Amino acid sequence: MKAEIFPERCIACGLCQTIAPEVFDYRDDGIIIFSGEEKARQQFIPEKSQKDVRLAAKRCPAYAISYDSL
Ligand code: SF4
């Protein structure tokens, strides 16, 4: 699975990092980044984290996370 984030839509609610802390983190201002990769906008998600990423994308109030099944 490949996930994509849209920081320009993020409202810094903190939910995605709570759901999938192994994948998502924040900048100092609370806007979403991928953990350990502040500049990345897309990332391949290992199978063990895919369920959490799907849930985070579904729950994100700003539609700032998407994924495909590749
Ligand atoms: S759940 Fe969405 S709005 Fe909230 S911090 Fe994550 S990307 Fe931003």
pLDDT of residue 70: 63
pLDDT of residue 44: 96
Of 36 and 33, the structure prediction assigns the larger pLDDT to 33
Pocket test for ligand 1, best of 65, 66, 67 (most atoms within 8 A of CB): 65
| Per CATH, domain 2-68 is 3.40.1280.10 | no
Closest residue by Cα to atom 4, ligand 1, is 13
* CA dist list (Å): 61 to 31, 37, 70: 13, 23, 24
All structural domains of the chain with their residue ranges: 2-68
pLDDT digits (tens, 9 = 90+) for 37-56: 999 999 999 999 999 999 99
pLDDT of residue 39: 94
**Res. 29: pLDDT tops 90:** yes
Number of H helices, E strands in the chain: 2, 5
Query: CA-CA distance, 57 to 34, in Å (whole number)?
Result: 13
